[in-house]
Structure 1
């Protein structure tokens, strides 16, 4: 993640993980089921396009999942692609996830 995002806190609301950058948001919609967290959709407001904010919110969310001993279900195509690009994160993906072998 780019250094400018390192000190921005990750906020977990009832339905999303988000970061705020200069009054704009990058977020991931999620569902939590017991020991699993399904990441469904990642989005950054247009003002954050190309800044790395979406990647930052993904990385912060993956750390949250790992730190809380949860298993990831990466349904969001952006998160799935992020894990393919950073295969070290496959360690937190639930082995029963349908696309596990494609990561």
Structure 2
């Protein structure tokens, strides 16, 4: 079961709280574009799909808001390459 993803718009961040730690995805808004700047999962939480859950939540939010996405972090860039269903968001 995946932990719930919480959006913290005032901090430009998506967060998952698990086992007393946080996995995060940070972004910046640049006009009508969401730039994903960092995806971080503590070592103890890795292998649970948390980075994927954070990225999917961010992409869903971008889509709902009519934003385009620029992946400035390596995880987000790799994720978008592996998931062509999100290609329209990055054009």
Deviation at 1:15, TM superposition (A): 3.4
Tell me which of 39, 42, 61 is aligned to 2:36: 39
- Counterpart in 2 of 1:89? 86
Query: With structure 2 as the length reference, what TM-score do the two structures score?
Result: 0.87
Unaligned runs of 5+ in 1: 96-103
Deviation at 1:78, TM superposition (A): 0.4
Query: With structure 1 as the length reference, what TM-score do the two structures score?
Result: 0.78
Deviation at 1:24, TM superposition (A): 2.1
Unaligned runs of 5+ in 2: none
Off by >4 Å, runs of 4+ in structure 1: none
Deviation at 1:33, TM superposition (A): 1.4
